[in-house]
Structure 1
């Protein structure tokens, strides 16, 4: 496993990490989650990602139960959660969503309870909140760090301007600003990571924990001939994902990428993951899996990176246009 520093912090994350979105509670049970997390940990993964909204808190509870089972040294694991959407779904009332001081503090406490830990290594503002002053957000995150409830804080799906606004306020008031952004990043979704955030990697020094490196499974090739039963895009409530990714032009490009992967004697998902982590501004790519075999295949990306020289990267660019 390769480890990369998170931006300009001293925290090191495994370049491949493991997340629970969609899968935990909805697709797999505790025993499957235990098998996947254990396999990931045994192969060098040290970052496990979660959020209050994932399965409305049940994802955190499941991960918490697995962590309780294991004898892992807490200091060897980096855990995250996210605040914004709330954990009560349609039952959310005022102040149970967003980034007010009230919700951030209460969401942090509830995440710690569900995960059965004393602190979070990373705590993300899951979306920007135009209704809460940036100063209120920065002060609250700073206070959580001061109280030892979280160690670092970051953002997810914020614009570069919003991130810099938080840094500006933090600098003016001698507070701790965000150190990490969690954006979507894959061969089809590139603008934020490659262009918008480019000025932020050196100053203030932004780390990235990217999600959906396989484009919700599209880049595994399993949707080339339709949508298999039991797959993520076949699940009720995820029709929006299907509409977004299963488009004729994207599927055609995936077919061409699959042909290139065969020429290189690698699998399509390992090539897609290798392409993602080849970007030095990607601290870690978050994997989602329902089967151990999927993780085994995904980890091969660590070797496939060496296969993607300038010529092969050029061929990928030609396919993607």
Structure 2
């Protein structure tokens, strides 16, 4: 029976209403037994958190030939879910853009999942210069084609985010509604610093927190055996060294490290959604405890407890270093909204 314990927030000013928790797919569905995956999908649906980030990982640094998106489509069908039972955030990569156009990539992605459209899409990061104006035009064309209705950006430099927002406004096109950023107990500069922080504060973008467990390090897997996200600023050794402190803070709040990590992200009022990976119902139910933690302890106390864990306070969103003193002295976000709202 559905319990709908997970509240919803709007994923940015023009985004859909989504649960505050979402499940990732990278190195997830392809590392699970089918029965366990089906059970997890059912559990997410019953909790009101059937929101899935599903990408075709076969381009640029993700040219892995992974089948995780294909497996996801099979799993939701095996679970007997109707398309209206779940939300999907798709992926568009810029690594080979515009040689590989969005229309072709979306047709391939949708065919691999076995659906006709996704609910929203995140446009991935890139290394070479990209014509952002063309990206906005091509995204708008895909929206008009009915393949999704809103979009977000993934770890773009701040100036490119501004350009996309301003160009879309001036041309009457669909602007990005959210930014999917690395954001966690230890990585905060992109979301809380003077770049994206301003865009969140004035309501131009919503925040989707990703990589919240640093590839598992922040839940105790200090030597990950699988490929994990990029180490912007080269602080991963410091993150590993901080693990005992994370444990101690969580214990002091009568919580698990996973609950602490998710609750910290939700304590920021800019955060519409926290994207995390889990491979069992037990891990999912542990994550649900973050909502109770936030309600029980409150955003201010959680942020105060984790204040000294800001390890990238001198790291710019593009990976360069700020002058001595960093940005950690900037204003903290306002108190979080009621997690039940």
The normalised TM-score by structure 2 is: 0.80
Inter-partner Cα distance in structure 2 for 1:255 and 1:24 = 29
Distance 2:262 2:115 in 1: 31
Q: Structure 2 CA distance, aligned partners of 1:315 and 1:191?
A: 18
1:147/1:16 Cα in 2 relative to 1: closer, same or farther (>3 Å)?
same
1:8 offset after TM fit, Å? 1.2
Answer yes or no: is the 8 Å Cα contact 1:218–1:245 preserved in 2: no
Partner deviation per Cα, 1:142-164 (whole Å, 9 max, x = no partner): 01111111111221111221011
Q: Do the aligned partners of 2:102 and 2:142 also contact (CA within 8 Å) in 1?
A: no
Structure 1: which 5+ residue stretches go unaligned? 86-96, 228-232
C-alpha distance in 1, partners of 2:15/2:142? 19
- The question of 1:253 aligning with 2:242 is answered yes
Q: Tell me, yes or no, if the aligned pair for 2:92 and 2:123 is still in contact at 8 Å.
A: yes
Tell whether 2:241 aligns with 1:262: no
- Measured at CA, do residues 30 and 103 of structure 1 come closer, stay the same or move farther in structure 2, by a change above 3 Å? farther
Residue 311 of structure 1 deviates from its aligned partner by 4.0
| 1:215–1:245 CA contact under 8 A, matched in 2 | no
Confirm or deny that 1:9 pairs with 2:14.
Answer: yes
Tell me whether 1:282 sits opposite 2:271 in the alignment: yes
SS at structure 1 position matched to 2:297: coil
Structure 2's unaligned 5+ residue stretches are 1-5, 312-341
Q: Which residue of 1 aligns with 2:159?
A: 161
Using the alignment, how far apart are the partners of 1:10 and 1:320 within structure 2? 29
Distance in 1 separating the partners of 2:99 and 2:139: 9
Query: How far does residue 287 in structure 1 lie from its aligned partner after superposition?
Result: 1.8
Deviation at 1:312, TM superposition (A): 4.6
Equivalence for 1:199: 198
- Report the CA distance shift for 1:204/1:265 in structure 2 as closer, same or farther (over 3 A): closer
Do structure 1's residue 151 and structure 2's residue 142 form an aligned pair? Answer: no
**Aligned residue in 2 for 1:28:** 32
Q: Tell me the distance in 1 between the aligned counterparts of 2:155 and 2:212.
A: 15
Q: CA RMSD in A?
A: 2.5
Change in 2 beyond 3 A, CA 1:127/1:238: closer
Higher helix share: 1
Cα separation, partners in 2 of 1:143 and 1:39, compared to 1, 3 Å = same
Equivalent of 1:45 in 43, 49, 61: 49
1:166-185 Cα shifts (integer Å, max 9, x gaps)? 12221222111111211111
* Worse-superposed segment, 267-276 or 121-130: 121-130
For 1:45-64, what aligned pairs fall within 5 Å after superposition? 45-53=49-57, 56-64=65-73
Give the SS at the match of 2:29: coil
Equivalence for 1:83:
92
1:245 offset after TM fit, Å?
6.8
Q: Which residues of 2 match residues 194-233 of structure 1 at below 5 A?
A: 194-195=192-193, 196-201=195-200, 203=202, 205-223=204-222, 227=223, 233=224
Q: CA deviation at 1:109?
A: 0.4
TM-score, length-normalised on structure 1?
0.84
Contact 2:186 2:309 in 1 (8 A): no
Residue matched to 1:314: 304
Say if 1:212 and 1:286, in contact at 8 Å, map to a contact too. yes
Partner of 2:67, secondary structure, is helix
Q: C-alpha deviations, 1:63-107, integer Å up to 9, x for none? A: 11122223334234221111226xxxxxxxxxxx43317421111
Q: How has the CA–CA distance of structure 1 residues 131 and 256 changed in structure 2, closer, same or farther, with 3 Å as cutoff? A: closer
